[in-house]
Amino acid sequence: MRTPRIAILGIQGGIEEHLAMLQRIPDIVSYATYKTSELASADGIILPGGESTAIGKLIEDFALKDVIKQKAQAGTPIWGTCAGAILLAKSIENDTRRHLAVMDITIKRNAYGTQINSFVTYTVLPFLGNEAFPIVCIRAPIITAVEGTARILAHLNSDIIAVQQGNLIATTFHPELTEDSRFHLWFANLVKKQTSH
């Protein structure tokens, strides 16, 4: 079986941190890119955190929107963290813009406030095991509605912080800014499973 390739959208945001996490996982090739051809050949894609408005504009400017949407529709695992989750959402409560609009979720930008309201806490993410996972929220959004075939993976108190819809995953927090690689391993295993079909 060939080694799966995970591309990190390399426009803006937490690119190096995602790369560092993926490099700890065996049998995965990871790279950052904003080239259409390299995104098109990827077996999995990560849309990192950063500034969703800036990333959304650059996706348009670099003509990347169509290739990412095509990959989403073709079943390629795509994971958006924080700003990446906003890019995936079909509805943004406090913004008229829509970016990729491929997930049946509604999201609210900067739901906890500004940068000074950023925080770290811990909660159990059942699909990753019983040990609490560090939840790093930086100007984090909240997923306020989940529709269609989308299903909630995790809450923080009453807030929805992780959702999966088939091959698409949205998290409002930053697993790449922790020392815990379990989420990246979980995503890599999804990519490996899809690639082996």
Catalytically annotated residues: 82, 174, 176
SS3 57: helix
- Which of 196, 194, 193 has the alpha carbon at shortest distance from 71? 194
Amino acid at 6: I
In which element (H, E) is residue 68 found? helix 65-73
Q: List, in order, residues 6 or more apart from 154 with CB less than 8 Å away.
A: 123, 125, 126, 127, 160, 161, 162
Could you tell me if 9 and 34 are in contact, meaning their C-beta atoms sit under 8 angstroms apart? Answer: yes
- Name the residue with tokens 């909660």: 123
Residue with tokens 């306020």: 144
Rounded Cα distance between 116 and 132, Å, is: 24
Instruction: Return the SS3 of 115.
Output: helix
